[in-house]
Amino acid sequence: MSSTAAAAALALAAAAPLSALGRAAGPRALDPPSRGLAALAGILLLFAGARPAARPAAVLAFAAAVLVPRGLACLLAAAAAVVAAVRPAPPAIPGFAAWPLVAALALALAASALQAAAEESGSPRRLGAAREAALGGAVLVLSMMIVDGGRILRWRYGLGAGAARIELPGAALVLGLALLVSLAGALSMTVHLLAPSTRRSRAGLVGQRLLVLGAGLGGLGVAVVAGQGLGHNAESLATGARDLAAMFLAVGVLILALIGLLAAPAAPEAAAGARVDPTSERALRLAAAAALLAAATAGFEGWRAEGTYATTTMAEAASAALLGLVAVQPTRLGLARAALFVIGLLALIARAS
C-alpha cells in the first residue's frame, strides 16, 4: 500500500467538506485551507507516479486547487488516490500515455461546472439542497447495489474472486445497514419534496436524519472494508480497489449534499428566473474541449504504438467527448446532460487506471 497516496486521499477527503463549508458560509473563509490541502495532495501523488491511478489523481488534485467550486473535484481526486494507494505499481513498461491526464483535466472542469450548475439552479436554496440530498442518498444506494456484483443485497460482501476471495461479514453488515438507512432517507426526502408545502415537513426532517446516519454508516463501512482487507490480504484489497473507491466517492457526494442542506436557510430564498452562471458554462465548454483533445491524443498515441488510430481507447475517449458536446448545447435537461458527461469521463479514467 502506498502511504503517500493514502495521505493524499485523506487530504482530499478533508478538502472537499472544507470547500463546501466555505461556500455555505459566503465569504469562503475556509477556502484557502481547502486549496492548500488539494495542492498538497497533488504533490504527494507525484511521489506515487509509478501507479497508474496516481497520475490522473494528481491532475484532478491540482485542478481542484484552482477551481471554484472544488468539492466534487476533490472527491473524484480522492477516489482516484484510493485506487492508487491500494493497487500496487505494475512492472515498468516503455512509453507514457498522456491522454488520461488530459481526460482528468476535463473531468475536473466538468465536475466543477456540474456542482456550480446544481448550486445555482432556479429552485429556492433550501428546496434545491433537499433535492441534492435526496440525489446523494440515491447515489450511495446505487453504488452499494452495484459493488461486488450486488452481493450486499444478500448481506454479503467480499474482496477478490475465486480461491483468493475473502469474505468480510462485518463490512457486509455495516454496508447493508447503510444501504437500508440511505434508501429510507432518500425516499423520505423525496416525499418531502413532493409535499404541497416543503417548509420543515416531518418527512424532510426524518429523511435528513436518516441520510446523516446513512452517510456515517457508509463511511464506517468503507473504513471497515479497507481495514479488514489490509488485515487479510492486500492483493484481494487491490482487486476490489474500484469498488472501494466507488463507495468512498458515493459517501463523499452524500456528505457534500448534506452540508449544503444543513447550511441552507430555513426560509426559502427567492430565485425566480435564475439560470446557470456563465462561469460554470465556460468551465463546461473548456471541459468539452479538453475531452476532445483527450480523444485526439488517444488516437495519436494509438497510431504511434499500434500503427492505427482506430483503437478501443480512442473510441471510448471519443464517446466521452461526444457526451461533452451534448452537454454544452443550450437545450433543456442541462444538469442531466452535464452529469452524464461527468459519468462518461469518470468511467473512461477508471478503465485507464
Segment 219-239, tens digit of pLDDT: 999 999 888 877 777 777 788
pLDDT at site 140 = 94
pLDDT at site 323 = 93
Report the alpha-carbon distance of residue 282 to residue 284 in Å, rounded. Answer: 5
Q: What percent of the chain has pLDDT over 90?
A: 47
Query: Please, what is the average pLDDT of the chain?
Result: 85
**pLDDT > 70? residue 5:** yes
Average pLDDT over residues 136-148: 92
pLDDT at site 82 = 92
**pLDDT > 60? residue 270:** no
**pLDDT > 60? residue 124:** no
Report the alpha-carbon distance of residue 244 to residue 147 in Å, rounded. Answer: 8
Find the largest Cα–Cα distance for the chain: 63
Report the b/e string of 152-189 with b at 16+ CB within 10 A.
Answer: beeebbbbbeeeeebebeebbbbbbbbbebbbbbbbbb
pLDDT at site 239 = 82
**pLDDT > 80? residue 151:** yes
Average pLDDT over residues 84-100: 76
pLDDT at site 104 = 95
Least confident of 22-31, 59-68, 140-149, 272-281: 272-281
pLDDT at site 352 = 79
- C-alpha cell recorded at residue 174: 455495516
pLDDT at site 272 = 42
pLDDT at site 118 = 80
Least confident of 13-22, 27-36, 66-75, 187-196: 27-36
Residue 199 in contact with residue 190, Cβ under 8 Å?
no
Report the alpha-carbon distance of residue 147 to residue 235 in Å, rounded. Answer: 18
Report the alpha-carbon distance of residue 253 to residue 135 in Å, rounded. Answer: 9
**269 confidence band (pLDDT: 50, 70, 90):** very low
Residue 22 in contact with residue 34, Cβ under 8 Å?
yes
pLDDT tens-digit readout, 309-336: 888 889 999 999 999 999 998 888 888 8
pLDDT tens-digit readout, 278-312: 667 888 999 999 999 999 999 998 888 888 888 88
pLDDT at site 199 = 62
pLDDT at site 164 = 72
Q: What percent of the chain has pLDDT over 70?
A: 88
| Overall size of the chain counted in residues | 353
Q: How far is CA 44 from CA 50, 61, 100, 108, in A?
A: 12, 10, 19, 18
pLDDT at site 281 = 85
**pLDDT > 50? residue 274:** no
**pLDDT > 70? residue 62:** yes
